[in-house]
Structure 1
Amino acid sequence: MISQDSLINFALESLGLPDSTEADIAPLSKRGSGRTFFRFRWSPQDSAIIIHYDPERIENTYYADIAVFLTKRLIPVPRIIRHDPSKCIILMEDMGNIDLWSYRQKDWEIKRTLYQKTLVAAYRLHNIQEDLSCSDIRLMEGFNAALYEWEHKYFLEHFVKGICNIDIEPKMMAAIKNELHQLVKRLMKAPPCLVHRDLQSQNVMIMDEKPFFIDFQGMRTGCAFYDLASLINDPYVYFSDEEIEELLSFYYVLSGAALDWDAFRSFFWEASIQRLMQALGAYGFLSLKLGLVEFLRHIPGGQNNIIRASTYVQNIPMLSQLLLECKGKTETISP
């Protein structure tokens, strides 16, 4: 582990500040993915964020270059001040402590405005149209059938079996796998674009009433509906059916979608099933395998959202039955 003195020296040098500058450094809550975060402050008004990352998580080595790529294309992300790959340190703009999640209890009029601004930024990301093979940017492998299927296994292993302690009998498992295979085939028909991959409320910082994306190291090509599901069917924030429809309609009009509205909605709810399986699998893995039991409290929101989504998706009767069985098994779970 690198010393805090080394991090301070790195920041002072990067900012062109004298060694005699009175500065302090404070660790921030851990965001995971093999990274540690610090707030470096050299005056009451001036601060920056330091990230020290584990390069074994290959996506961590992509973060700074992706940030520069997005900044050049006017996608709102923190500005990279300096990146030293040899030391695995990034110094970047401090976006403060207020994220989109912080507004979860606010009146709909306030939330709606911020979410619409976030959807505008998401659309700009999804609408980047260039040949990425000709750029220097490195990305994780794009969404494909194998990645979607990996998320299914993640859900079945760490949530259905790990959290709910359900052993699915072979005939039912075969039926569920067939339903999920068909779901993947439908999602693969959605137009491909760049996606954030984890566009939930805690990965959108709010500064001066404007959204800024963070934690985009997993950005890749995929389906825009996966991002929409991550944001609008976020287990951390409750939306009524009417609010979901309003936000989804806002993006639909904004994007000038070539799809008709019914097809657009179908893609959204199917992507919501996919995304929420990934999220529930993650809650199981993080709580049971890594001991991060605080993630257990997000299970009810994730389950409620995926059960609601299942009512909008046809041809998944066995999966829907499993989701209801899981709900019954987790009613007594608490962190």
Structure 2
Amino acid sequence: EENQFYEAIAGFLREIGVAVPAICDHDPERGLILMEDLGDEDLFAFRSAAREIRRTLYEKVLVLAAKIHAFPPGRLPAGLRLMPAFGPELYRWERDYFREQCVRKACGIELTDGEDEALEAEVAALAVRLHETPQSLVHRDFQSQNVMILKGEPVLIDFQGMRFGSPFYDLASLLYDPYVDLSEEERATLLEFYFDLSRSTYGWNEFKGLFLLASAQRLMQALGAYGFLGLERGKSHFLAHLPRGLDRLIDVTGRLESFPRLHALARRCRAAIEKQ
């Protein structure tokens, strides 16, 4: 369904100054779009570049994110169709995806009913807090392989899942991306760059806390996807990202005081993967 929204969302993003591929032709009846060739370099390709080069690129990407997040919801073009907004049901689906595809299928861990209920009570509170933050337009899959680099400038792709949600979710997708090893110093510097850019109404400490909450949520979704794509779809290379994704989740939940069960489960999954 969301692929039907691509052309209209591309036009909208271009109007607000966010670089996207040019649409050359569109045949909605056949579900075909002919678009600009952006080459082969994405942000992921710069994962081993010199720190200053990488920082410059990430800052440019965050400027695009800020443009999307700052767009007033009331000014959205009439008739622009988006996927349903983030809410309790979608957050719950992501948590269940993690438990089914990553914990149970990829890691071979069967939670007891009691363990599952206790975990759900813990992580449900995470979703409530994210849903309470001011909602904005979000890309939804804002990671390094969905940002092409053309002549040194970022161009966003795979934005057809755009919807309303917490902007912290996009920040988490980019800065805790399991595909790229950002140092803690780099991550903190880039988060502060966005904080200044966004003129957030939150204080810095609360802002960082919400970023960590969103990171835990996003990492659960990503880990579920790696398990699903690797095992259900036969794309085994996605399974190679499980260890790094679990390391990220261990790190994030270790910085949050309210998620001991999720932290323990992530460590348990990491140990199970290590033994495979």
TM-score by length of 1: 0.81
Q: Which has the larger radius of gyration?
A: 1
What is the Cα deviation at residue 130 of structure 1? 3.7
> Residue 112 of structure 2 aligns with which residue?
169
| 1:133-167 CA distance string (max 9 Å, x none) | 65121110010011000000000000000011111
The answer as to 2:208 corresponding to 1:265 is yes
| 1:245-300 CA distance string (max 9 Å, x none) | 00100000011110000110011001000000000000111111111101011111
| 1:298-319 CA distance string (max 9 Å, x none) | 1111111111111122211111
> Residue 6 of structure 2 aligns with which residue?
63
Structure 2: stretches of 5+ with no match in the other structure: none
Size of the aligned set, in residue pairs, is 276
The answer as to 2:223 corresponding to 1:280 is yes
Percent identity over paired residues: 45
Confirm or deny: 8 A CA contact 2:73 2:137 kept in the other structure: no
AA matched with 1:275: R
Paired residues for 1:14-33 under 5 Å: none
> Residue 92 of structure 1 aligns with which residue?
35
SS at match of 1:212: strand
Instruction: Identify the range of structure 1 (148-157 vs 78-87) with the bigger mean alpha-carbon deviation.
Output: 78-87
Confirm or deny: 8 A CA contact 2:6 2:159 kept in the other structure: yes
Structure with greater helix percent: 2
Q: In structure 1, which of residues 286, 293, 311 is the aligned counterpart of residue 254 of structure 2?
A: 311
> Residue 23 of structure 1 aligns with which residue?
none
Q: In structure 2, which of residues 165, 187, 201 is the aligned counterpart of residue 244 of structure 1?
A: 187
Structure 1: stretches of 5+ with no match in the other structure: 1-57
AA matched with 1:162: K
The answer as to 2:102 corresponding to 1:159 is yes
What is the Cα deviation at residue 65 of structure 1? 1.0
Confirm or deny: 8 A CA contact 2:135 2:165 kept in the other structure: yes
1:167–1:132 distance in 2 versus 1, CA, 3 Å: farther
1:133–1:70 distance in 2 versus 1, CA, 3 Å: closer
AA matched with 2:158: D
Confirm or deny: 8 A CA contact 2:41 2:149 kept in the other structure: yes
What is the Cα deviation at residue 332 of structure 1? 4.2
AA matched with 1:185: V
Where in structure 1 do 4 or more consecutive aligned residues deviate above 3 Å?
none
> Residue 17 of structure 2 aligns with which residue?
74
AA matched with 1:141: P
Confirm or deny: 8 A CA contact 2:249 2:263 kept in the other structure: no
Instruction: Identify the range of structure 1 (228-237 vs 131-140) with the bigger mean alpha-carbon deviation.
Output: 131-140
| 1:209-256 CA distance string (max 9 Å, x none) | 110100011100001010000000000000111111001000000111
Q: In structure 2, which of residues 157, 160, 165 is the aligned counterpart of residue 222 of structure 1?
A: 165
- Root-mean-square deviation (CA, aligned residues, Å) is 1.1
Confirm or deny: 8 A CA contact 2:172 2:212 kept in the other structure: yes
TM-score by length of 2: 0.97
Confirm or deny: 8 A CA contact 2:216 2:253 kept in the other structure: yes
The 1-side partners of 2:104 and 2:4 are apart by 33
1:61–1:320 distance in 2 versus 1, CA, 3 Å: same
Paired residues for 1:187-198 under 5 Å: 187-198=130-141
> Residue 7 of structure 1 aligns with which residue?
none
What is the Cα deviation at residue 87 of structure 1? 2.1
The 1-side partners of 2:247 and 2:73 are apart by 38
AA matched with 2:107: C
The 2-side partners of 1:294 and 1:116 are apart by 29
Structure with greater strand percent: 1
